[in-house]
Structure 1
Amino acid sequence: MREIAALVREPSRLPACWQFIGLGRANCDLRTLDEKSDRVVDNAGFFALDDIDQVDGAQLYARLLAVFPNWLWLAGQAGILR
């Protein structure tokens, strides 16, 4: 988990935004990546889906992009986007 956290933290000053999805009922706590405070901007999101087949395309797309507007604003304020 430390290695993954570093991979999210290091590019937090770059124009990159990550969205993690927990599929199935696995007990992998990627949620903590969305809570890291040692980044230039919040550049990661997480949501869990027990069964991806139960989510229609529009809902999945909306959840995939949910973190993007806030990241776009934060990255603009931090001078990451030009």
Structure 2
Amino acid sequence: MQDITHTARQIAGSPEHYLHDTALFTQAWAAMKAARGQGFDPARLRAAHLIDRPEPAPEPSDQTLARIGAKVRQLIAEKNIPVQHRNAA
């Protein structure tokens, strides 16, 4: 049983290598759940469980600072907040 669980963990840990056979991934997932004494409904397994989506590329900090500065200046103008220093925002 330990060998089956180990193989199932390898398959579930790197699903990108087993995309050609999603049934193999589903069986591995079911074996891991069964080893823990848990139930498993394969109908609830979605493609998002197979592949982690990449995070969006981070925005460069100068663009972030410019966007935040513009938003702050806009809010100050909308709310008529007095600003002591012109370079504050």
Specify the TM-score bucket, using the shorter chain as the normaliser. 0.3 to 0.5
Question: What TM-score do the two structures reach when normalised by structure 2?
Answer: 0.31
**Greater fraction of residues in strand:** 1
Q: Which is richer in helix?
A: 2
Whichever of the two has the greater Rg, that structure is 2
TM-score (norm 1): 0.33
Higher RCO (C-alpha under 8 Å, 6+ residues apart) = 1
